[in-house]
Amino acid sequence: MADDISVLIVDDSALMRNLIGRMIENTPGLVVADKAMNGKFALQKIPRADPDVIVLDLEMPEMNGIEFLKERKKQGIRIPVVILSSIAARGAEITMEALALGASDFIQKPSGSISDDIHTVKDSLTSMLLGYGGQYRRIQGKKVAPVDHMGKPSAKIGGSSLTGTSQSQFVKSADGLVIPPHGAVKARPPLRRPGKTDIIAIGISTGGPDALRLVFSKLDADLKTPIVVVQHMPPGFTLEFARSLDRICPLEVKEAEEGDAIRSGRALIAQGNKHLEVEKIPQGAVVHLTDAPLVSGHRPSADVLFASVAKWYGNHALGVIMTGMGRDGAEQIGEIYKEGGLTLGQDEASAVVYGMPRVAFELGHVQEQVTLQNMARRICDLAKTPR
């Protein structure tokens, strides 16, 4: 169909090309544009295939994924790229290099270069392809079929799929925050007014690596409020991800370790497969990492982070929920709102998958929707405002 998102598959394994192609063809809204066995052939096929998104392996003969990304950048090709690769010894470092070179996101092949169980990542992969491909089509002025909060094609558009509440029903308060009307959604009124912002908590998933790179690169160097982040990411990657953010952010960014201090000018990124919670102690505040069961289908979970932030910081917290499939964080960011903290959500137009922020907004837990381009500025302004 004309509105389908076309995908170029680049992998040196014929089996993988066929398995990935089958997943794409069986997903409504997606179609295979073409297939290539390495980066060199992919570059040759792009003008004719005209794909909306590219699935790229990293380890290929003649021209590997990194070399392809360098050439893509040199040629000014803006088609988004999703890395689907096995993990070698330097896998995390290479993957972060790929993101730095312009790849949008990545998924780990479940069992090596030739993964006949690739179907286990189908939902994550197809949601990314629909999200990034749809975003690219919109930028090109092409039609895109609407998707639901799980990143799947949907007949319902905008903020109407969960509660029947449209965005136009929300009104701005005197200080510019968008307050959801309590007659339209089941939002509890805050227990108190917002106080000084002592912590910023961010929950983010699909589309997150790209989005966080932009936000962190634009944060003010004099932002004193500490930041804690849950980004859904496999174990083994968050250390390199934090290092990659640290290189472009004016603040210190590090992967969280048990007992790390929450302090001024520092951002802590949750470890893959570890929940992150905060706690205030006599000496200040620290983070704790736990192996507790998955929450909202994830570990780390934004819901776990937001719940602990609401408990210990109350109306002195700023909760931010950004692009991501599903609803993780949508419920417990409401606890920050209930306690009188401030809450922001990424808007539909700039989110790769308008899932987590959509559910939070429709539950009445988001006070203001913000574009990705403006998110860093809004975070800094709210955190610096005396109350």
pLDDT the model gives residue 187: 63
Contact criterion met (CB below 8 Å) for 238 and 208? no
119 included as an active-site residue:
no
pLDDT the model gives residue 191: 86
Element spanning 277, H or E? strand 275-281
Q: Which of 104, 124, 205, 308 is catalytic?
A: 205
CATH 1.20.1090.10 is the classification of domain 5-139: no
Query: Whole-angstrom Cα distance, residue 377 to residue 220?
Result: 8
Condensed to tens digits (0 to 9), the pLDDT of residues 319-375 reads 999 999 999 999 999 999 999 999 999 999 999 999 999 999 999 999 999 999 999
Query: Whole-angstrom Cα distance, residue 155 to residue 90?
Result: 43
288 included as an active-site residue:
no
pLDDT the model gives residue 20: 95
328 included as an active-site residue:
yes
The domain locations on the chain are 5-139, 167-384
Q: pTM for the full model?
A: 0.88
Q: Which of 232, 298, 316, 365 is catalytic?
A: 232
Q: Which of 12, 260, 328, 347 is catalytic?
A: 328
Tokens of 226: 């500490």
Query: Whole-angstrom Cα distance, residue 207 to residue 231?
Result: 10
**Ranges of the chain with pLDDT below 70:** 1-2, 87-90, 111-115, 155-188
Architecture of domain 167-384: 3-Layer(aba) Sandwich (3.40)
Same fold, 5-139 and 167-384: yes
Q: What is the DSSP string of 156-224?
A: --STTSSSS--GGG-EE-TTS-EEPPTTTS-PPPPSS------EEEEEE-TTHHHHHHHHHHTS-TT--
**Distance from the Cα of residue 233 to its chain's centroid:** 10
